[in-house]
Chains A and B, each alone.
Chain A
Amino acid sequence: MEDISGYPLEISGADAPMVSFRKVRKVYGPLVVLDDLDLDVAAGEMVSIIGPSGSGKTTVLRMLMTLEQIDGGVIYVDGSPLTHMAKNDKLVPASQRHLRERRADIGMCFQHFNLFPHMTALENCMEGPVQVLGISRKEARERSEELLELVGMIEKKDQHPSRLSGGQQQRVAIARALAMRPKVMLFDEVTSALDPEVIGEVTNVIRKLVSEHNLTMLMVTHQMGFARDISDRVCFFYDGKIEEQGLPAELFGNPQKARTQQFLSAVKEAV
């Protein structure tokens, strides 16, 4: 087991990041997916992650959602360790119980929506609040209807996912994640599986979240224009590392590293 005695038990202070990756490592056999990643995301910040496939972008989100175990380092959320827990003033790998406690701060939307097919749009949104948060059905229904209103899906609330288009399903999925009142929202290529003409309806919802809600967001995306528009910061991933990061205008307008330039020009050509 890796020595993690050098990591703090808590991160405190006024400028403490909402999310902090400290030397986070992820390997699949001989393949190093993330190589000692350091990444801080401030409260309320919107960070976009771009890069070629296989660069570890999605893995960042999946580790933060605890869908993947990490092989080294520590992830902190809102000041406390997520992947580890304090025991006798030492950090030890998190128990299932600890993960369940800390995971409550995080919500995620997936490339393929992953709505529950046996539930209506409204039931999808109520499921977490009722089952996990233990909120009354009445209150969960009100909250879910508000959120479906926010994403423009209130008219379709009684439809099952099979009756909804991809864009509509993704908007319901966003409402479902928000219903859990997370502090951090993760968007994993949420427009990649959509037909081009419906991408706008999903990106508009995310725009609305950015402008009206004080959520911390991490977004993996291939929509460069969208990332440029709404992000506070853009990280370009290459080979399991952040190759370059900065303000969207800087990174897209004047990339410093050769790999960033190559990637951005290749993407431009594809469009």
Chain B
Amino acid sequence: MFDWQWEFVWEILPRLVQATGNTLIAAGAGYAIALVLGLVLALAQRSPSRVLTFLVREFVEFIRSTPLLLQIFFVFYVGPQFGIRLSPWMSGMIAIGLHYSCYLSEVYRGGIESVPRGQWEAATALNMSTMQTYRRIVIPQAIPPALAGLGNYLVGIFKDTPMLSVIGVAELIHTANAIGSENYRFLEPYTMVGLIFLAISLPSAGLIRGFEGYVRRKLGM
């Protein structure tokens, strides 16, 4: 009844390892997009222009209130109607990066708001421009308290990469499905995928905490 075949596991392992690489690349690239775009969105929400602030806030709300899967489909299948033809890889990373940038923008926003007003005033007293104040004073202090939140979403993005399988990105689930239907065996590939996710997610939380401590020490906080 419980027919676990080690031989089969060894046979499919190379493909799974390769798919793990693809998954990490997709998560990493999506996260990189989200890190940069999230900061841009957070700063835009603090701009003196009311129109810009309003539009960005509505955009963030919209993205956060609709499913990631829908956004992936939209970029991949609806994009071409507007002349935007992207590979599954590109579509996937853009959709996932965009989706998470909206979550990360909230994390950044919390970090920025945690910087005391006195820091802004000290920067003004030194005659720093708004740009200099953000770059040199506010953002460096906003990052350490935001790191835990930023890190959680890194694990989150990693666990959401299977959604890219629906548009044919050869990440872990997609590969496990393929292996399963080729061999009529699903137990081993899915179990392995679960273990791989676990093996990567679990230590990440600890690593993120360690990194947070390191950054705080480095900044003397």
Contact = CB atoms under 8 A, between A and B. Distances in A.
Interface of A: 65-67, 100, 103-104, 106-108, 110, 112, 114-120, 127-128, 131-132, 160-163, 176-177, 180
A132 B127 contact: yes
Interface in B93-150: 116, 118-119, 121-122, 124-129, 132, 136-137, 140-141
Given A118-B141, A162-B220, A132 B122 contact: no
A162 B141 CA distance: 14
A115 B122 contact: yes
Contacts of A180: 126-127
A153 to B, nearest CB: 16
Contact of B221 (A100, A107, A162): A162
Which bracket fits the contact residues of B?
A: 10 to 19
B70 interface: no
B122 A104 contact: no
Nearest to A179: B126
A198 to B, nearest CB: 19
A266 to B, nearest CB: 29
Contacts of B199: none
Nearest to A104: B127
B136 A127 contact: yes
Given A116-B119, A131-B136, A107 B125 contact: yes
A122 B122 CA distance: 16
A118 B125 contact: no
Nearest to B128: A132
18 contacts: A65-B125, A66-B124, A103-B127, A104-B127, A106-B125, A107-B125, A110-B118, A110-B121, A114-B119, A114-B121, A116-B119, A119-B220, A127-B126, A160-B220, A160-B221, A176-B126, A177-B125, A180-B126
A24 to B, nearest CB: 19
Given A116-B137, A117-B220, A118-B141, A100 B129 contact: yes
Interface of B: 116, 118-119, 121-122, 124-129, 132, 136-137, 140-141, 219-221
A132 B128 CA distance: 6
A132 B126 contact: yes
A132 B220 contact: no
Nearest to A160: B220
A208 B129 CA distance: 31
Contacts of B136: 127, 131
Contacts of A120: 220
B111 to A, nearest CB: 13
Contact of B219 (A118, A131, A132, A177): A118
Contacts of A161: 220
Contacts of B127: 100, 103-104, 128, 132, 180
A86 B137 CA distance: 32
Contact of A114 (B118, B128, B132, B220): B118
A60 B126 CA distance: 18
Contacts of A160: 220-221
A135 B127 CA distance: 14
Given A66-B124, A114-B116, A116-B141, 20 more contacts: A67-B124, A100-B129, A107-B125, A112-B118, A114-B119, A114-B121, A114-B122, A116-B119, A117-B219, A118-B219, A118-B221, A120-B220, A127-B126, A127-B136, A131-B136, A132-B128, A160-B220, A162-B221, A176-B126, A180-B126
Contacts of B126: 127-128, 131-132, 176-177, 180
Nearest to A173: B122
Contacts of A103: 124, 127
A115 B119 CA distance: 7
Nearest to A101: B127
A77 to B, nearest CB: 13
Give me the 8 closest cross-chain CB pairs, A-B, nearest first. A160-B220, A128-B126, A114-B122, A114-B118, A118-B219, A108-B125, A103-B127, A118-B140
Chain B CB within 10 Å — which of A108, A114, A115, A180 has the most?
A114
A131 B128 contact: yes
Contacts of A118: 140-141, 219-221
Contacts of B129: 100, 132
